[in-house]
A and B are shown apart, each in its own frame.
Chain A
Amino acid sequence: MLFLTACDDNPTGVGVDVGDDPLQGGEPVTVSLTPTSLNVERRAPVTGAVAGNLPERFFAGRVDDPLVGTTEAQGFLNLFQPIEELSGSLYNDPLTDVSLRLAPISVYGDTTSTVTMALYDMPAPWDGAGARSDTTLAEGEQILTFELDPTDEETLVPLPRTWINENEPVLRDTTGGGEAFLDAFAGFRIAPASGNAAIGFNRNDTSLRVATSTDTTNFNGRVSLTTLERTPSDALPDDRALVQGGFANALTFTYDFDAPPLDTLRGTPVNRAEFVLPVDTTLWADSTPDGFARPTPDSYSFTGTSTDGDQTVTLSSNLTPFNEGLRFTGDTPVRIFEEGFLRESAFSEFVITPNATESGTSNEISLDVALFHRLPIDPTASDTEGPRATVTVTPY
């Protein structure tokens, strides 16, 4: 019966206007809703991890960015002892060379000049797993300084003979299946000495190259950590919000569905919703010196904090920016506003964090920078360029 009655229907507008109370309504209306609040939240992200976990990246260097301010990164690294390879010549013969191999994978800052880094011993073993960017570790003695060209794919830093002689027994001590090495060797700290760039390295591609006259082996990166400090720039206008991975790394905003104008839409069904978070590309370009690299995030994570504050829900893990900023549309924004209009808002706050450039995951770290628009100072102003949600509803 259903089939028979459905196959031949040809409904038109005939009958819509019949009577003094004709069929009407259903016209969608598009409204621009400015967030109730928008802030940049400084967070100290997890920048330390052991092999097999993210982040794999660590940074070292100092950058004086005319837009962002001064950023200083210090990288910490400890190594695996390749026990099975420590045999024969490597175990018995004198070490002829020990070099730290560094492979830059990203640059933030001046790409036209070399930077000088200082390499330090770590005085004691440290636990980098889960450590955050504001971690403070004990300082060791400086081993040497070295120059690094940010554009080089690989840099070998030969360690001095005194360091080799001092550490040769430790490097070869396989007692306890490597336990002795773990207890005695604490790794390195790489700190900026001069220059205007912060270099990113991948822990997995970083190693200590140990050689005898007949053989060579690598002590690969086992654990890494980045600590960060920043001095903001006075050049940043009040109406712009700077989001940078590793520092002010979250753009947070809220919508109060119980306050105007959102409360006027209570009970209204939603056809479409889009979050629009514009970025300032003009000031960005004007504040970028020649030869200065300032990476921007390839993608962002969009999360919501549940109303009861207990849960953080990932609404989009890979939000790709357009030229003018971030746009987030689809089923999820519709559900967010529908929930707020029809029942109770499921989220008390929305958070946008940049994903790392390399792996596209929010667990990686970066120093990428984005310059978002803040809310208009006059809350009643119709700012079509500002952060907003464009919501199409069908009033009844």
Chain B
Amino acid sequence: MHFARTLLIGLLLTLGGVLPVWGQDAGDGSIYSRFGIGELQTPSSAQAQALGGHGVALRSLNYTNLSNPALWSDQVLTRVALGARFRTVESEGGQTEGTSRLTAGNFDGVQFSFPLLRQKLGVAFGFVPVSQSNFRSRVQRTASSSPFDDETLDYQVEFLGRGGLQKITGGFGYRFNDLISVGASLDYLFGTIETQRRTSFTRPNFQETVVTNGVRLDALSATLGTHLTIGDLLRSDDNLMVGAAVTLPASLSGTRTRTIGESLDRDTVSTASGGALDMPLTTRLGIAYVPSSALTLTVNGSYAPWSQAESSMTDDDVSFAFPVGGTETLADQWTLSSGVEWRPAGDDSFESFLARTAYRLGVSYEQLYVSPNTTTTLNAVEARLGISLPTSVSGTRIDLTTHVGRQGTTSQNLVQDLYYGVSARVTIGERWFQERRLR
């Protein structure tokens, strides 16, 4: 118990260092993160992620799932979760020969939750990524004019995407009875998405120039969720759970700026404020079946009609539009995922380490919400394999998940990404706010 508390305090202190650098994820990824608001992330729980999706139906005493506030009612322990992930993307296609390989690493969110009434009323807060823009392309070219009479001027242009949206969320979940629970959260989305163009030279006396088109966004939204549990359906002690959550439409108000230069030495050459991008309603539905405490099966789906999104930031008064290519490049997004978790020991905490370890497998299919050429629908398929390691501290687990997937296509001048990576998350649970009792 003392160890867990120490670890918890350490993690909380770490948050102080993590939060300020949240928007500074390192590394690079898919070119598709250039479109829309970047590659969408799925904030949920380590368990749900390993099972392929958001897991809106997945009740758990060990995890706080941010995808459905109704699940926050099931809390027994005060809980903190912190994660990070790495991903490598290998891209090919388009008019360029060869393969691009890029690697990115970033923090995967921080969650803090606790019960107000044990397994009745719970509260959760989270600071999680919503989207990420981290593309990177580099080309070598020869200028059409040169300051040298008899020599051409070769140069390199590097295009980079940086930033993304984050979300601070906070809300509660309330369980009416064994059958039904509801929850709601208030979500504040904010962040900056930048596209940088760096022009550099190998010759002396030439300076690299950096032009950055950036848009600073923020919006207020809310998520409503409900959860239904039906016990003893097919066998004794089994549970069939159905969860649903909707994230309400949000209007991302934005300020676009074009700057020249680097970091602290930037000059703003143009600014346009007052625009907005209207994000659509996102609906998530999931089913989980738990035949025994050792086995969990899930199926999840989601839908977001991004094709209906509207943006007033596509005028040309500052020479760049947001989102890139206009809202014509947005398409309806839907996902379908399924997963299975096997924990040999079930709820028996006296079994061996390996028996108490959870083994997970998940697959997902997604129709991406971006269509860069406005005509081709892009898909992604992904498989995940994960384990959840118990620790000597009850309620604290370490989750490791690997994933491999493919998205996009090499036809229509598009690119196909093969991506793979690993994520790690520590979830710490400890009993707080205990009533003092006389012995």
Q: Which of A6, A12, A16 contacts B99 (CB 8 A)?
A: A12
A18 proximity list for chain B (CB < 8 A): 31-32, 34, 94, 372-373, 413-415
A23 to B159, CA, bound (A): 7
Please tell me if B42 contacts chain A, counting CB pairs below 8 Å.
no
Residue of A nearest to B371 (CB): A19
Residue of A nearest to B106 (CB): A1
A272 touches B94 (CB 8 A): no
- With most chain A CB atoms within 10 A of its CB, the pick from B32, B84, B199, B319 is B199
Residue of A nearest to B33 (CB): A15
Contact with B along A266-298 (1 / 0, CB 8 A): 010111101000000000000000000000000
How many chain B residues touch A (CB < 8 A): the figure is: 72
Residue of A nearest to B28 (CB): A9
B319 touches A15 (CB 8 A): no
A15 proximity list for chain B (CB < 8 A): 30-31, 34, 91, 94, 96, 100, 135, 137, 415
A19 touches B35 (CB 8 A): yes
Please tell me if B105 contacts chain A, counting CB pairs below 8 Å.
yes
Indicate whether A20 sits within 8 Å of B207 (C-beta atoms), given known contacts A4-B105, A9-B103, A11-B137: no
B95 proximity list for chain A (CB < 8 A): 16-17
Please tell me if B10 contacts chain A, counting CB pairs below 8 Å.
no
CB distance from B113 to the nearest CB of A (A): 26
Contact with A along B103-120 (1 / 0, CB 8 A): 111100000000000000
A342 to B258, CA, bound (A): 12
A16 touches B325 (CB 8 A): no
A23 to B321, CA, bound (A): 13
- In the complex, identify which listed stretch (B141-149, B163-171, B221-229) lies at the interface while the others stay far away: B141-149
A396 proximity list for chain B (CB < 8 A): 197, 211, 258, 260, 269, 319
CB distance from B111 to the nearest CB of A (A): 20
- In the complex, identify which listed stretch (B150-158, B305-313, B343-351) lies at the interface while the others stay far away: B150-158
CB-CB contacts below 8 Å: A354-391 with B: 390
B137 touches A30 (CB 8 A): no
- With most chain B CB atoms within 10 A of its CB, the pick from A9, A331, A392 is A392
Contact with A along B284-328 (1 / 0, CB 8 A): 000000000000000000000000000000000001010011101
B147 touches A269 (CB 8 A): no
Please tell me if A394 contacts chain B, counting CB pairs below 8 Å.
yes
A330 proximity list for chain B (CB < 8 A): 205
Residue of A nearest to B211 (CB): A396
CB distance from A313 to the nearest CB of B (A): 20
CB distance from B320 to the nearest CB of A (A): 9
CB distance from B422 to the nearest CB of A (A): 11
Contact with A along B354-380 (1 / 0, CB 8 A): 000000000000000000111000000
Please tell me if B3 contacts chain A, counting CB pairs below 8 Å.
no
A394 touches B199 (CB 8 A): yes
Residue of B nearest to A267 (CB): B269
Task: Bin the interface of chain A by size.
Answer: 35 or more
Q: Interface SS of chain A: helix, strand, loop or mixed?
A: loop
Please tell me if A184 contacts chain B, counting CB pairs below 8 Å.
no
CB distance from B141 to the nearest CB of A (A): 7
A8 to B321, CA, bound (A): 32
A29 touches B145 (CB 8 A): yes
A27 to B198, CA, bound (A): 10
A5 proximity list for chain B (CB < 8 A): 26-28, 86, 103-105
CB distance from A318 to the nearest CB of B (A): 17
Indicate whether A30 sits within 8 Å of B197 (C-beta atoms), given known contacts A19-B35, A394-B211: no
A271 touches B209 (CB 8 A): yes
A269 touches B96 (CB 8 A): no
CB distance from B164 to the nearest CB of A (A): 15
Residue of B nearest to A23 (CB): B159
CB-CB contacts below 8 Å: A128-167 with B: none
A21 to B372, CA, bound (A): 8
B143 touches A14 (CB 8 A): no
Indicate whether A269 sits within 8 Å of B211 (C-beta atoms), given known contacts A18-B94, A30-B143: yes
A12 to B34, CA, bound (A): 16
Q: Which of B98, B210, B269 contacts A14 (CB 8 A)?
A: B98
A342 to B35, CA, bound (A): 29
CB distance from A342 to the nearest CB of B (A): 5
Residue of B nearest to A384 (CB): B149
Q: Which of A21, A30, A331 contacts B207 (CB 8 A)?
A: A331
CB distance from A130 to the nearest CB of B (A): 39
Indicate whether A14 sits within 8 Å of B96 (C-beta atoms), given known contacts A4-B105, A27-B141, A27-B144: yes
Please tell me if A82 contacts chain B, counting CB pairs below 8 Å.
no
Please tell me if B270 contacts chain A, counting CB pairs below 8 Å.
yes
Indicate whether A343 sits within 8 Å of B329 (C-beta atoms), given known contacts A8-B88, A13-B139, A28-B153: no
CB distance from A151 to the nearest CB of B (A): 41
Q: Which of A19, A272, A393 contacts B372 (CB 8 A)?
A: A19
A334 to B100, CA, bound (A): 34
A269 proximity list for chain B (CB < 8 A): 209-211, 260-261
Please tell me if B136 contacts chain A, counting CB pairs below 8 Å.
yes
A15 to B201, CA, bound (A): 22
A11 touches B153 (CB 8 A): no
CB distance from B150 to the nearest CB of A (A): 14
Please tell me if B4 contacts chain A, counting CB pairs below 8 Å.
no
A88 proximity list for chain B (CB < 8 A): none
A274 to B413, CA, bound (A): 41
A390 to B146, CA, bound (A): 10
A394 proximity list for chain B (CB < 8 A): 199, 209, 211
Please tell me if A25 contacts chain B, counting CB pairs below 8 Å.
yes
Please tell me if A235 contacts chain B, counting CB pairs below 8 Å.
no
Please tell me if B206 contacts chain A, counting CB pairs below 8 Å.
yes
Given contacts A13-B138, A16-B96, 4 further A-B contacts (CB under 8 A): A4-B86, A28-B199, A274-B147, A394-B199
- Report the 9 A-B pairs with minimum CB-CB distance, sorted nearest first: A15-B31, A19-B372, A5-B27, A269-B209, A26-B157, A267-B269, A13-B96, A14-B100, A21-B325
Question: Can you list 12 A-B contacts (CB < 8 A)?
Answer: A2-B26, A9-B102, A10-B102, A11-B136, A17-B94, A20-B325, A20-B329, A267-B269, A331-B207, A390-B147, A394-B211, A396-B258
Residues of A whose CB lies within 8 Å of any CB of B are 1-2, 4-6, 8-21, 23, 25-30, 267, 269-272, 274, 329-331, 334, 342-343, 390, 392-394, 396
Residues of B whose CB lies within 8 Å of any CB of A are 26-28, 30-32, 34-35, 84, 86, 88, 91-96, 98-106, 135-139, 141, 143-147, 153, 155, 157-159, 197-199, 201, 205-211, 258, 260-261, 267, 269-270, 319, 321, 324-326, 328-329, 372-374, 413-415
